[in-house]
Amino acid sequence: MDGVLIIDKPSGRTSHDVVRDVKKLLGAKKVGHAGTLDPLATGVLPVCVNEATKLTRFFLHHDKEYRATMLLGVTTDTLDREGEIIDRHEPRLQEREIRETVEGFIGRIEQRVPQYSAVKFKGKALYKWTREGIAVDPPVREVTVHHIRVIEIRQSYVTFEVFCSKGTYIRSLCAAMGENLGCGACLFDLRRTRSGPFAQEEAVSLEGLPDGERRAVLEKNMIPLADALPGVGTIIVDEDTQNRIKNGYQPMCGVLRDADTPLPGKGDLVKFVARDGGIIAVARMCFSPEELYLMKEERQAVEILRVLN
């Protein structure tokens, strides 16, 4: 059983907990998730089963969408409501000031990775160093906030939607907003509504179901390997080319010129698929379609990134 599941992760459970549950329910050999959600958060968690774990790397670069609520006036050590309160202020702010500050974070920004995070330093997660009382200087990352929209402001609670690049910490975003407002803030609630092409509408919840029904739900909602990379160009190849790719062959320009489907651009991903629909490999285009037709037939056209069984 190979494929991708879009799980609606419940609050209070780690992403690893969900992976462990799926692995046990399906009796799978390999299961992994594509993009960690903190225990506090809910929502879209792509989970790869067996052969699909080879595709995990292609999901990790997806942009994400969240619906978040921050609590103004409260600062915690973990940057969310589950941490220890280290400062508290009464926010005396106008709605216009709050909206302008929140929406002012659109664009490329620098974020320092939270001390309580799974990012590793010398092979050990930062949160483990922090809990041991060892000071570690977290790395600074540049992320992109494509869009923010404030949905509701109710007393000290501000709910907003954010569309951002991979690696964006929403709790760090809330802390920075609170600092700019002068009252401090922490993340109160978070839901991931989209991860790349996968939206919350297709996410399945396992909460409250007996094991037998949970397994049936997983089997019914498994996305086949061939459909697991929507939006990625497809090239159908014959059995001979299929076998050659599995043995290390890098397809040449002549092979791609015969493709029946439009080719993606230079640097874009493309998947090679057998005539029966099974995915063979994922590759990156070396040339644009226009350049491809100017090259010699024996020139390597793609770089194979991952071969599947």
Dump pLDDT digits (tens) for 173-218. Answer: 999 999 999 999 999 999 999 999 999 999 999 998 888 899 999 9
Go through the chain and tell me how many residues it has: 309
Contact 302, 309 (CB under 8 A): no
Q: Which of 95-104, 110-119, 248-257 has the lowest mean pLDDT?
A: 110-119
Average pLDDT over residues 273-283: 91
Angle ∠(278,281,287) on CA atoms, nearest 5:
130
Radius of gyration of the chain (CA): 23
CATH fold group of domain 3-62+197-226:
Pseudouridine synthase (3.30.2350)
For residue 189, indicate whether it is catalytic: no
pLDDT of residue 63: 94
pLDDT of residue 150: 97
**CATH architecture label of 64-195:** 2-Layer Sandwich (3.30)
Helix 95-103 to helix 170-181 angle (10° resolution) is 130
Q: In whole numbers, what is the pLDDT of the chain averaged over residues?
A: 91
Within this chain, domains 64-195 and 231-307 share the same CATH topology: no
What are the residue ranges spanned by the domains of the chain?
Answer: 3-62+197-226, 64-195, 231-307
Of residues 19 and 233, the one with the higher pLDDT is 19
pLDDT of residue 258: 75
- Provide the pLDDT confidence category of residue 122 given band limits of 50, 70 and 90: low
- Provide the pLDDT confidence category of residue 43 given band limits of 50, 70 and 90: very high
Check whether 275 has a pLDDT greater than 80: yes
Catalytic option among 2, 8, 21, 38: 38
- Provide the pLDDT confidence category of residue 308 given band limits of 50, 70 and 90: very high
pLDDT of residue 152: 96
CATH fold group of domain 231-307:
2.30.130
pLDDT of residue 102: 96
Contact 245, 278 (CB under 8 A): no
